[in-house]
Amino acid sequence: MLKKLAWCVVLVFMFNQNGLAQLPDFTEMVKTNGVAVVNISTTQKAKPEVPETAQKEVPMPEGMPPEMEELFKHFFNNPEGGGNGGGNGDAQSLGSGFVIDKNGYVLTNHHVVKDADEIIVKFSDRRELVAKLIGSDARTDVALLKVEATDLPVVSIGEPSKLQVGEWVLAIGSPFGFEQSVTAGIVSAKGRSLPGGNYVPFIQTDVAINPGNSGGPLFNMDGKVVGINSQIYSRTGGFMGLSFAIPMDVVMNVVAQIKANGKAAHGWLGVQIQDVTRELAESFGMKKPQGALVSKVMPDSPAEKAQLQIGDIITEFNGQSIEKSGDLPPMVGMTPIKDKATLKIIRQGEEKIVNFNIGLLPEQIDKVVDSKAEKAKPTNRLGLTVSDLTAEERQLTQVSKDGVLVQNMVKGAAKNAGVQLGDVILRLDNQVVHDAASFEKIVKNLPTGKSIAALIQRRGSPAFLALKIDK
């Protein structure tokens, strides 16, 4: 009995030792790289405040423990506590950054230094230097700074392409102004596409990232920077296990352009795209959902010159597979302007190769408009009532020709597919809807029990929906 007990103790000890041996030790990495991580503070001249809002405080995050409220107020509602300011003095913000060149080049996020009148870089040895903004790029959220210093400690740049999901990573930054804070976690996913971040295939991690970590480095286990911590997903404003970093290959591409030209340029195809759902794949005769579905071709764009069409499904870019629509923009965006590129597409069930030259992404702002329509009684198989567009409605909906305006609807195929009042229907079952008469004619001949692709325009943006009329 004693012998068996002794063996059990030995086995438990060995298991614990092996388990501990598998956990990473970050101490040496932090000692080596922490000195190259900096705290960044900015000031912006205060604007005259409206009396009603002058004393308005930042609301407390939902579910915040009482013991944290004072700390939150200190950083966000105290004019001397960093954060967003809140007093009558200059607005202040805090972020992180890291040195990539011993002669003073520092990287951070665009949103950390945006509109700053002064940028201060604080080093781990307590030195504080005024930085010059060399250039920044809002689309990738990258900014390059320069301080007048030499022989600075620098980080090593790694290769994000070699990162694997489940791999340990570490972040160093200044969450809520607490300098040189270290947090660790794993890579949760790669190639994430986020709203407003179409040109960045984000690295998703569960590393604890909070306000103030923005612009700080994400290290792999070799002690090399693989990304810049940029965004978090949160319902409270604090860490919830979803953090996103900009891959360093994207970052260094932007840095090279900023050094050469003072700004970054991004490749452009000139299409609006969306994912292919299971229902849409069925309507296009595809065996599985895949690729980027073209819902709009921009005028005078490389896509128009290459004769891409609405309804084309892009499945490859320069030989790289496009599994979902979010894969395409970063590939195009990082390709040098005027380079030749090749697309593989599916058009009406047939594969085709399209060649084009990469264009320069223009500076443009999408306008969002709401369409107002009078109600009428639905009369057709889709449960819709439509009307021809007036000149004013065409201006509001940004539809220059063809299409019909959805005036009213009841429960049915269109409503189930997500059609909304004020939508403009441009195509049904790959047929152009010229006017209300042609719409009714097409609807009468639609098959039942089969997914049909419908192209609609909503608030200035086109999108495909899959309709199915029940038998």
| 325 assigned to active site | no
Which of 214, 230, 301, 451 is an active site residue? 214
Specify whether the CB–CB gap between 161 and 181 falls below 8 A.
no
Which of 137, 141, 312, 423 is an active site residue? 141
| b/e burial code for range 204-223 (CB count within 10 A of at least 16 → b) | bbbbbbbbbbbbbbbbbeeb
Per the rule left: phi > 0, alpha: psi between -120 and 50, beta: everything else, 374 is: beta
| 275 assigned to active site | no
Residues 6 or more apart in contact with residue 345 via CB below 8 angstroms:
308, 312, 313, 314, 315, 351, 352, 353, 354
- Cα distances (Å, whole numbers) of residue 50 to 43, 53, 73, 80, 350: 20, 6, 21, 21, 61
Phi, psi at 430, each rounded to 5° = 65, 20
DSSP 103-172: TSEEEE-HHHHTT-SEEEEE-TTS-EEEEEEEEEETTTTEEEEE-S-SS---PEE--GGG--TT-EEEEE
Strand pairing class (118-122; 313-317) = unpaired
DSSP 266-303: -EE--EEEEE--HHHHHHTT-SS--SEEEEEE-TTSHH
Minimal CA–CA distance to 162: which of 227, 244, 78? 227
Minimal CA–CA distance to 212: which of 175, 248, 184? 175
On the CB side of 267, CA atoms within 13 Å amount to 23
| 266 assigned to active site | no
- Cα distances (Å, whole numbers) of residue 239 to 68, 155, 447: 14, 25, 49
Which of 74, 90, 101, 111 is an active site residue? 111
User: Which helix or strand (DSSP H or E) is residue 344 part of?
Assistant: strand 340-347
Q: Which residues are catalytic?
A: 111, 141, 214
